[in-house]
Structure 1
């Protein structure tokens, strides 16, 4: 069963509560049909995650400003370089099952197809699933948890400006480069591919000071 924290986090990340919106504990108790205690505990966790900010009455959904969003992308780039490197090391050591790499390729294909077809929301979900799977393959739970938090902040702060990527073919090529480096057990190349991909995503946004859709 999903916890109150998980349910509320999903509502925020999915856009049910847009950045800047104020919500009260009572509103959430009614929507989630739970008591104040689990709601209060969930909000404390979400505040530490950087998704909500305490107000006099309830909380408001956080939207990162331009510098904070660019900083989040750069942190994501460093973490994804690490997880890609670790995943490639595990492949080199023979620790990754073929099915895990097949899933990585399928997630990249789904991200490319949905984005190209114009289903941008689905494209974002599949893109995140692709990158998250790389972190799963790295087998580093702390890095995965940190990436989940950074991805949440980026998605919440960029959902309103979601637009078709300026370089869909290039994005898929970068994903394929990353897949190849991991599959062939080349850690340094995998780290570079992951880092360059995230930084290129940041640089390709219409306004580099405000970041953009992941």
Structure 2
């Protein structure tokens, strides 16, 4: 598990970017471990959709436009579900005020980092915001599925928040989602979550088709 998490971190956080070939020997030397745990970790990362077999090891996967659209459509459905579940829990009195305050704090940090031009921190805080919504939904199967999807998206779209108008729009979308959750409106929360993800998908896939 530890070797898997270390290699996953190297990929997700950009040390090994999309399209980068990586050999088992390189990883063994970098991590100071034998080939067996590295091989096992790479098999798991392949099943996660982060690497694909190559002639001398693996290559970090970069999603093409269709594949990116496909994972975003799945993400939109799953995040609509988590938003609905969280709003339902709020309506039923299962969430604490501290949980809602923490959700707003994640949104604040994402917005601040992005407006300051720190896109790396902005991406990280944005993911933490969405992951916290999924955590509050209290559905481990959905959370694990979203983690895999977010990893794939992060690797393939590292520059997504550099789109000039998108950071401001993202914060507004986050605030509407928080409001729907706080008011305990499941259908409204689901709609906001779905629209937010699909709006991001539209920007990214349009960029992919232009390049």
TM bracket (short chain): over 0.9
Change (3 A) 1:52 1:159: same
Please list the CA deviations of residues 74-114 of structure 1 after superposition, one character each: whole Å capped at 9, or x if unmatched.
Answer: 11111100000011111111111111111100000111111
Q: Which residue matches 2:206?
A: 208
Quote the offset at 1:209 in angstroms. Answer: 6.2
Alignment partner of 1:74 is 2:73: yes
Indicate conservation of the 8 Å contact 1:67/1:210, yes or no: no
Query: Structure 2 CA distance, aligned partners of 1:210 and 1:137?
Result: 33
Please list the CA deviations of residues 130-162 of structure 1 after superposition, one character each: whole Å capped at 9, or x if unmatched.
Answer: 000000000001111111111110110112566
Moved over 4 A (4+): none
SS in 2 for 1:59: strand
TM-score by length of 1: 0.93
Indicate conservation of the 8 Å contact 2:161/2:167, yes or no: no
1:1-214 matches, within 5 Å, as: 3-159=2-158, 163-205=162-204, 208=206, 210=208
Kindly report the root-mean-square deviation, in angstroms, between the aligned alpha carbons of the 2 structures. 1.5
TM-score by length of 2: 0.94
Unaligned runs of 5+ residues in structure 1 are none
Quote the offset at 1:169 in angstroms. Answer: 2.2
Structure with more helix by fraction: 2
Unaligned runs of 5+ residues in structure 2 are none
Indicate conservation of the 8 Å contact 1:70/1:209, yes or no: no
How many correspondences in the alignment? 209
Indicate conservation of the 8 Å contact 1:67/1:209, yes or no: no
